[in-house]
Amino acid sequence: MIFEKTLSTIKKYNLIEKGDKIVLGLSGGPDSVCLLHLLNRMKDVLDIEVYAAHLNHQIRGMEAQKDALYVSDLCERLGITFFVKSIDVPKYCKENKLSIEEGARKLRYEMFFEIKESLNADKIAIAHNMNDQAETVLMRMMRGTGLQGLKGIDYMRDGVIIRPILDIERADIEAYCEEHKLTPRIDATNLETIYTRNKIRLELIPYMKENFNSNVTESIVRMSNSLKSDNDFIEEEAIKAFDKVSSKNEDELEIKLNNYINLHKSLKSRIIRHGIKYVLGDTNFIDQKHIEEVMELENENKLDKKIVLPRGLFVYRKKDKLLFTTKEIVFEEIEFSYELPKNGFVKINEANIIIETEVMTISRYKALKKDKSLKWFDCNKIKGGIVVRSRKSGDKIKLSMGSKKLKQLFIDLKIPKEERDRIPVLQDDNGILCVGNFRNSEEYKVDENTKEVLKICFKKI
């Protein structure tokens, strides 16, 4: 029955093609041993080559050595070429600040892909089963997942990772191993409730079966499968949208807000996931709460904010984009200060501008056609000399609605943080005349009592 059901799953999801070379992750436990035996029986039917790969994590001491010996003996009996690798996973995780679960998974898949490449193989087979599927969905629900997470584990990922026994229950797998006298190894750590998945497997699901639904595993998986088609459709639309709104560089990605901001929320969350996957390679350990944190950055009051996601990913809110990168951006502080003549000019290399000035009579001022790019001030209201400088902490300017700090002014004007130090601030002995070409102070405006006018022009170099 398991043989036919697995073959049906393979054909239904097109997991294996004729002539495929398959590298199978073989831990020595019931699931992977069952899958190895099944694929070995299917070799002639499917016209495939099967190889096995075992990683000794060096976590379980002598038991791990026994696992490796068992795997070697099993593969020799079945006539399957196998590969065994030993890595000190606890040491690796400590050095790279990873959890044992995360580090072991990373090293395991690195080994699978290394062997796949050396053999020029086509697929990597993983022995996830129906119970794993239910446990994964429950675990993701507790983390606060969306539809993407509720669809559970994929039968195939990226056209390479395949899971042929995802429709088979663990009890049937164990019965199959017993029937064929495979005597798989039992990992004692799977019986300890120190890991979240083990608690779900050993405590939560049995409790749900006893008190609510004896077929809860099948019900969860049925729900998961019914959500797959809906999710697949939305995902297709999200990929189209992602290609339109994103700009990819070698090690970072930008999402253009003008194209992104009006999309449906369900597409936005997927676009963000694709952005994270592009930079990190996958979305492991990225939860729905992290996606929602990134989505909040689209609000205008988040300009120049950044968030730090797991695995050293930074997301920055710029004026017109979201930037995903593993490099932390450190802004260069720029300082400058120059005396500004009332008739003449000053060149400011730090800001890439030239400021020109001219004093004229009120009658000439009135006769001129007003250019909005020019600034006009009452000359008699200016006290002492004029200094043009970079901003300082606590700077304020007098506007029609009262005084405003330059920091808040820049936020209101949506000026990126890295550009603010380059904006020239013009000041006399009493206060600030203007902030670049953006705002003038009310205290120096031309009125009916003005006799002389100071014209100021900002020109980019």
Element housing 37 (H / E): helix 30-41
Q: Yes or no: say if 166 and 155 are a contact pair by the CB < 8 Å rule.
A: yes
The number of helices, as runs of H, and strands, as runs of E, in the chain is: 18, 22
Least confident segment among 141-150, 193-202, 361-370: 193-202
Give the pLDDT band (50/70/90) at residue 189.
low
Q: Yes or no: say if 20 and 122 are a contact pair by the CB < 8 Å rule.
A: yes
The mean pLDDT of the chain is 91
User: How do the domains of the chain map onto residue ranges?
Assistant: 2-128+163-212, 235-325, 337-460
pLDDT digits (tens, 9 = 90+) for 7-32: 999 999 999 999 999 999 999 999 99
φ/ψ bin of 438: left (φ > 0), alpha (ψ from -120 to 50), beta (otherwise): alpha
Q: Yes or no: say if 252 and 324 are a contact pair by the CB < 8 Å rule.
A: yes
pLDDT for residue 243: 95
Alpha carbon dihedral 147, 149, 153, 155, in 10-degree steps, equals 30
Q: Yes or no: say if 105 and 27 are a contact pair by the CB < 8 Å rule.
A: no
CATH of 235-325, one of 3.30.465.10, 3.30.465.60, 3.40.1360.10, 3.40.50.2000: 3.30.465.60
The span from the CA of 125 to the CA of 53, in Å, is: 10
pLDDT for residue 81: 95
Q: Considering the domain 2-128+163-212 in this protein, what is its CATH number?
A: 3.40.50.620
pLDDT for residue 1: 86
pLDDT at 188 over 80: no
CA-closest candidate to residue 355, choices 252, 282, 458, 214: 458
Measured CA to CA in angstroms, residue 70 lies from 82, 186, 327 at distances of 12, 11, 45
CA-closest candidate to residue 47, choices 24, 20, 23: 20
Measured CA to CA in angstroms, residue 309 lies from 278, 286, 312, 451 at distances of 14, 8, 6, 59
Give the pLDDT band (50/70/90) at residue 190.
low
The percent of residues in the chain predicted with pLDDT above 90, rounded, is 68
Q: Yes or no: say if 58 and 86 are a contact pair by the CB < 8 Å rule.
A: yes
The span from the CA of 373 to the CA of 413, in Å, is: 17
The span from the CA of 162 to the CA of 155, in Å, is: 6
pLDDT for residue 450: 94
For domain 337-460, give the fold. Phenylalanyl-tRNA Synthetase; Chain B, domain 3 (3.50.40)
Between 144 and 388, the more confident residue is 388
Read off the tokens for 135. Answer: 């446990």
Residue with tokens 């990225």: 286
Give the pLDDT band (50/70/90) at residue 105.
confident
Alpha carbon dihedral 67, 68, 70, 72, in 10-degree steps, equals 160
pLDDT digits (tens, 9 = 90+) for 214-239: 999 999 999 998 898 888 899 999 99
CA within 13 Å, CB half, 200? 17
pTM, entire model: 0.63
Least confident segment among 73-77, 333-337, 413-417: 413-417
CA 88 to chain centre: 29
- The residues facing 431 across adjacent strands are none
Give the pLDDT band (50/70/90) at residue 262.
very high
Give the pLDDT band (50/70/90) at residue 372.
confident
Give the pLDDT band (50/70/90) at residue 195.
low
Output phi, psi for 244, to 5 deg: -80, -35
